[in-house]
Amino acid sequence: MKNLLLPICLFLSCSLPQQRTYGVLAKNGMVVTAHPEATRVGAEILQRGGTAVDAAIAVQFTLAVVYPGAGNLGGGGFMVIRKADGQTATLDFREKAPLGASRAMYLDSAGNVVENMSTRGHRAAGVPGTVDGMVQAYERFGTMPFAELVQPAIDLARNGFVLTKLEAEKFTGVQSELRRYNTQPSALVQSSGWKPGDTVVLADLSHTLERIRDHKRDGFYAGTTAAFIISEMQRGKGIISKEDLQRYRAVWREPLVGMYKHYRIISMGPPSSGGTALLQLLASAEPYPIASWGWNSTQTVHLMAEAERRVYADRAAHLGDPDFYTVPVATLTSAAYNRTRMANFSLHRATPSDSIRAGVITSTESEETTHFSIVDKWGNAVAVTTTLNSSFGSMVVVGGAGFLLNNEMDDFSVKPGVPNIYGLVGGEANSVQPEKRMLSSMTPTIVEKDGALFMVVGTPGGSTIITSVFQTILNVAEHGMSMQEAVIAQKFHHQWRPDILYYEAKTFGSTTVQALRELGHHPQQREPIGRVDAILVRKDGTLEGAADPRGDDKAEGVE
């Protein structure tokens, strides 16, 4: 394994560097996650002969311990799998609205949204899907003993793990909210705050993981852990019931597949909007000479932003849980439809968002998510994006069980037309209904080139997830970047409303910013966008693992 990552400053400029930057290189497997301990655990599973799915399960449980702001037992997510023989599968372990949920549950008597009710506290939580998802993934694709995949997380929770500087800052930053919203003491709360190098011991969580190790699904959705969840709901006036836990099941869905030139894109369909939107964006951009225009040039950014505002308008109107709403995926992702959407695109002028509406269909997520990418020595690949929604979710730790609950109910349109915490606007397709899955932006994606595995990619970032994956793919496919260069490269984002073109520091030079303003865009600098973790299969078959330096992310290969 070789780590060829050069100093980040070589790439943080608005032009491509003369000296190339590469990530971690290995021949027999690669794991890229948001936390060094999770990466270590995943790589050890691969070294012991486990598959990419085995490693993904172990990583998911480990992240629930060492990365509790987004790694989770009390949340949900999506898994995209491509086996070495080309077979694909996608698993939806997204949370569901409790049976006691109703479309007006977050509105006051005047019909206005009650501040924080869908984002903080017990009523913000949907029924968790992660544990059932990992059990189902194991039962279909797992090869190692299940207990061996959970044990590393148990050991870390019981014996403790050391806080990084970034995680210590996050832990300290949520202390007041954890005190406010919890009904019982939590090991995540420390009166003096947290410092880098502190050891965190999560004894209650270790016992919950032991029950999952020994009883799989019943170790969470029944018995002691379920009783802890119901008691927590009763203390905090939440609405998740015993029946909700018994009824929850993750769902295997048909992979969403499309083409971009000679690349085959395999991603997640609804209730994730990510795959649909990604295929729309790629279809919208494909007719234009992006490579000759250049990376982050005025023309390239203008085109991509114009495509993004149209796609996010469609997302607001047409995307939702396919078990409750007929989502016109085939139409939305067709080349003909997206040509129609881009028909009024002008190279010389931005289209004001107020003048853009969702297309007419004639056929019947702070941004604390986390993503990890894994490829094993046989060429099996897994992309998983998982979340509690915002950082540390609802801020509620289940008393006696030691894990955080999500605040995914805010991903519904709690009132159609009113933005959520990420500024995303939704409609009736994503309204609150019992047992419905809320719409997501998560975009775990696997890319083939000429029929062979080429890339595994995804990112956290709430509403910016889709556009970050879009840019990362084009950075490699059109601009010839290495995987690490594509991950490091500065990102920008447009989501229709608000009508703002967000960008990271140093993404554009002052001349480009001015040119974009003259075209009618409204550029606005913001904090870093996304934390892409990705793997590229190079021409010689070597795997390049690229971890995003915006966080503690780490890539580790197997020789």
- Between CA 211 and CA 363 the distance in angstroms is 47
User: Is-contact 427 413, C-beta < 8 A?
Assistant: yes
Tell me the CB-side half-sphere exposure of residue 492, using CA atoms within 13 A: 32
- Between CA 384 and CA 374 the distance in angstroms is 9
Count Cβ atoms below 10 Å from residue 180 Cβ, excluding itself.
11
Q: At what angle do helices 130-141 and 146-159 cross, to 10 degrees?
A: 140
The residue behind tokens 């000479």 is 289
User: Is-contact 244 222, C-beta < 8 A?
Assistant: no
Tokens matching residue 453 = 């595995």
Tell me the CB-side half-sphere exposure of residue 138, using CA atoms within 13 A: 24
Q: Which of 311, 328, 321, 315 is nearest to 253 (CA)?
A: 321
- Between CA 353 and CA 415 the distance in angstroms is 21
Considering 369, 385, 386, 445, which one is annotated as catalytic?
A: 369
**Pairing of β 543-546 and β 534-537:** antiparallel
What are the backbone angles phi and psi of residue 27, rounded to the nearest 5°? -105, -30
Q: What is the DSSP letter of 3?
A: E
Q: At what angle do helices 203-215 and 223-236 cross, to 10 degrees?
A: 130
Cα separation of the two ends of the chain: 6
The residue behind tokens 């655990």 is 41
Count Cβ atoms below 10 Å from residue 343 Cβ, excluding itself.
7
Residues 6+ apart with CB under 8 A from 255: 80, 88, 89, 90, 266, 267, 268, 269
- Between CA 429 and CA 327 the distance in angstroms is 8
Q: At what angle do helices 298-318 and 465-477 cross, to 10 degrees?
A: 140
Q: Is 369 a catalytic residue?
A: yes
What are the backbone angles phi and psi of residue 203, rounded to the nearest 5°? -65, -45
Q: How many residues does the chain have?
A: 559
Q: CA angle, corner 514, sides to 513 and 520, nearest 5?
A: 95
Which residues does the annotation mark as catalytic?
369
